[in-house]
Amino acid sequence: MRDDFKNEVTIDFSKAEKRHELEKAIKEVEDSFETKYPLVIAGDHILSGEYIKSVNPSNIDEVVGYVAKGSIEMAERAIQAGEMSFKYWGNLSGCERARYLYALSSVFKRRRVELVATMMIEAGKTWPEADGEVAEAIDFIEYYAREAERLDEGEDLVRLPDEDNEIIYRPLGVGVSIPPWNFSLSILTGTTIGPVAAGNTVVLKPASATPVIAAKFMEMVEEAGFPDGVINFLPGSGSEIGDYLVTHPKIHFVAFTGSKEVGIHIYEEAAKVRPGQAHLKKTVIEMGGKDAIIVDSTADLDLAARGIVESAFGFQGQKCSACSRAILIDDIYDEMVERIVYLTSKLEVGDPRGLTVDMGPVIDDSGCKKILGYIEIGKDEGELIYGGYKIDTNGYFIMPTIFKDVDLEAKIAQEEIFGPVLSIIRAGDFKDALNIANNTAYGLTGSVYSRNRDHLERARREFDVGNLYFNRVCTGAMVGVHPFGGFKLSGTDAKSGSHDYLKYFLQPKVISEKF
């Protein structure tokens, strides 16, 4: 096995030469507006009658593309295609499968700038956010390829004098990958390529807000030469075809990332054994967050303020790991509020194609309305001290918004808003701060800024989240470095980007031979 995994280095598009490459790629994506993309089942390209329209959230008159929309009948075909191709794919060695992944990684690298430009336009990401995401997608492929190779090595068992024992990991069969729109390439790649690296086949149902980048992923899968039917591309509405896929008796696993409501629904539905089903489905369900950053008086306050602003407003707060609660201890409260507001006031909001922009639009009309609804609620629950409105343009731009003096039980301190809204909460002391931080149904990420060793040690034990950071932002987990997943109602904590991940899509088999 190769042990040379290294995280992909991001591109610095602030350099003139790189910036020109990006500008060219943006132009090319614009020239391809309104292209029609097919769904792909067993290698067949199907341009069905209905399409999902992908709109640029920075300018809703621009249609990034139309992607063919799958029906229940197509879903059935896709599952059958996955079942057929599993007979071949499931019996390849890990090393053989890994070679397809390395091929896919090189296609990603060749098309990298195009992928960055596509997400800037389809998802409203700034270039550093979009490029970081492409790097993460490549990391998932490279990391899981090495994991597939590692599977071939097996694991040691105790050997008896006259008996040989081995443990092997067998893939499950055909399953479903259901990613969200907010990491429309990296999570999609992880939840699809992880199970595939383990020897399974997949029906991929991408998020409806970002189908064009998903269609490009499928183009790259084909360019890399994956056998037909190993990955079947089935865009379509979650509410129309989601249940059919999840409840289907031939489906063996569901790899889902998205909201708490949909995640819990899938978890419940996948647990029922239906007629014709002779197995229990495995589920990897990663859901939302209400992530907090705690700052105490020993912290580097400048670093802490920068960390809060970056974590709260990066990608417009539309990250599961975004900081939506800043919990500040009384003695530094006022000074920190001032610093946070000052740094926020420097953020430039606009179309990410203007390459100096710090914050783009939120994803779509319903996201925008939901966020503005929470801002209205917040006006009764705390003091609005910055932002609080939508900018009047042809896109979904919401100002970074800060409320202070928010009660720990307030709606805006409890519910995932998934937008650029930060609630600042006052804590009496560090113990109080930890109690406030843990006082939600979620447990995804969190961060503590402190130089007090006792506080940090206490947080290690008591801060109830899957990914805890000290003296740094609570976003930006890297594959292999920060395996990712949450506690409580943030999910099954399957830790993507870790040695554990592929095992969720495998079943161990022990074989003992007596001599």
Residues in CB range of 199: below 8 A, 6 or more apart: 89, 90, 91, 92, 94, 97, 148, 170, 171, 506
Of the candidate residues 48, 71, 247, 259, the single one contacting ligand NAP (CB under 6 A): 259
Instruction: List the one residue from 55, 74, 141, 178 that touches ligand NAP (CB under 6 A).
Output: 178
Instruction: Out of 233, 486, 505, 506, point to the residue binding ligand NAP (CB under 6 A).
Output: 486
Residue 320 binding partner per list Mg ion, ligand NAP, none, with a CB distance cut-off of 5 to 8 Å that depends on partner kind: ligand NAP
Residue 266 binds: one of Mg ion, ligand NAP, none (C-beta under 5 to 8 A by kind)? ligand NAP
Closer to Mg ion at the Cβ: 55 or 197? 55
Closer residue to ligand NAP in complex, CB, 207/506? 207
Name the residue with the smallest CB distance to Mg ion. Answer: 55
User: Closest Cα to residue 65, out of 78, 74, 56?
Assistant: 56
Catalog residues that contact Mg ion under the rule CB under 5 A.
55, 209
Q: Give me the numbers of helices (H) and strands (E) for the chain, helices first please.
A: 15, 21
Contact 57, 363 (CB under 8 A): yes
- 423 forms beta bridges with 325, 403
Find the shortest distance in angstroms from Cβ 268 to ligand NAP. 11
463 binds ligand NAP (CB under 6 A): no
Tokens 């609080």, located at residue: 388
Query: For ligand NAP, which residue of 114, 129, 149, 286 counts as binding (CB under 6 A)?
Result: 286
The owner of tokens 């280095």 is 9
The residue (of 66 and 143) whose beta carbon lies closer to Mg ion is 66
Where b means 16+ CB within 10 Å and e means fewer, 447-474 reads bbbbeeeebbebbeeebbbbbbbbebbb
Which single residue is written with the structure tokens 């694991």?
155
Q: Is position 242 an interface residue for ligand NAP (rule: CB under 6 A)? A: yes
Residue of 114, 147, 310, 320 marked catalytic:
320
CB of 178 to ligand NAP, least distance (A): 5
Question: Please, which residues have CB within 8 angstroms of residue 163's CB and are 6 or more apart in sequence?
Answer: 512, 513, 514, 515
246 binds ligand NAP (CB under 6 A): yes
Residue 293 engages ligand NAP in binding (rule: CB under 6 A):
no
55 binds, among Mg ion, ligand NAP, none (CB under 5 to 8 A by kind): Mg ion
Rounded least distance, CB 444 to ligand NAP, Å: 6
438 binds ligand NAP (CB under 6 A): no
Q: How many residues of this chain bind ligand NAP (CB under 6 A)?
A: 33
* 3 state SS for 52-114: EEEECCCCCCCEEEEEECCCHHHHHHHHHHHHHHHHHHCCCCHHHHHHHHHHHHHHHHHCHHH
- Per rule CB under 6 A, is residue 490 in the interface with ligand NAP? yes
User: How buried is 190 (Cβ within 10 angstroms: 0-12 exposed, 13-18 middle, 19+ buried)?
Assistant: buried
| Residues in region 200-229 near ligand NAP by CB under 6 A | 205, 207-208
Comparing CB distances to ligand NAP, the nearer of 74 and 301 is 74
- Does 497 engage in binding with ligand NAP (CB under 6 A)? no
* Residue selected from 220, 262, 341, 375 as contacting ligand NAP according to rule CB under 6 A: 262
Q: Could you tell me if 124 and 316 are in contact, meaning their C-beta atoms sit under 8 angstroms apart?
A: yes
CB–CB of 397/361 below 8 Å? yes
What is the rounded distance in angstroms from the CA atom of residue 417 to the CA atom of residue 371? 6
Stretch that binds ligand NAP, among 16-24, 182-190, 431-439, 501-509 (CB under 6 A): 182-190
Note whether 1 and 119 are within 8 A (CB).
no
Nearer residue to ligand NAP within complex by CB, 129 or 149: 129
The answer to whether residue 323 is catalytic is no
Answer yes or no: 320 catalytic.
yes
Please, what is the Cα angle at 137 between 505 and 257, to 5 degrees? 50
Q: Which residues are catalytic?
A: 286, 320
Q: Which residues bind ligand NAP (CB under 6 A)?
A: 178, 180-183, 187, 205, 207-208, 237-239, 242-243, 246, 257-259, 262, 265-266, 286-289, 320, 416, 418, 444, 484, 486, 490-491
